[in-house]
Amino acid sequence: MSDLEQDLRATAEDIAADSSRLAALEREKADLGPDDPRLTALSAEGERLARQILPKTVAERDITDELAGTANAGN
């Protein structure tokens, strides 16, 4: 497996882990009442995770573009 393929796999796993945590936070928030003081902290963590996910997806796309270019260069 090439370094790019390893980078792609690691990035995808990282995105999946962040997404799973974000989904869990949203499920937890859905079970809380609107006046529950934990909502603020959970919402802040959700926002932090969402902000972390976007650049990772951009990096993932860049890696796949590079892999596609590498694959096309061999043809």
Q: What's the whole-model pTM score?
A: 0.83
- CB-neighbour burial class of residue 14 (10 A; exposed 0-12, middle 13-18, buried 19+): middle
Domain total of the chain: 1
Are 64 and 15 in contact, with CB atoms under 8 Å apart? no
- Of 14, 13, 41, whose CA–CA distance to 28 is shortest? 41
Q: What does the pLDDT read at residue 73?
A: 62
Give the DSSP H or E segment for 54: helix 38-73
User: Which range of residues forms the domain containing residue 20?
Assistant: 3-73
Q: What does the pLDDT read at residue 1?
A: 83
Q: What does the pLDDT read at residue 74?
A: 55
Q: Which residue has the higher pLDDT, 1 or 21?
A: 21
Q: What does the pLDDT read at residue 75?
A: 52
Tens of pLDDT along 16-67? 999 999 999 999 999 999 999 999 999 999 999 999 999 999 999 999 999 9
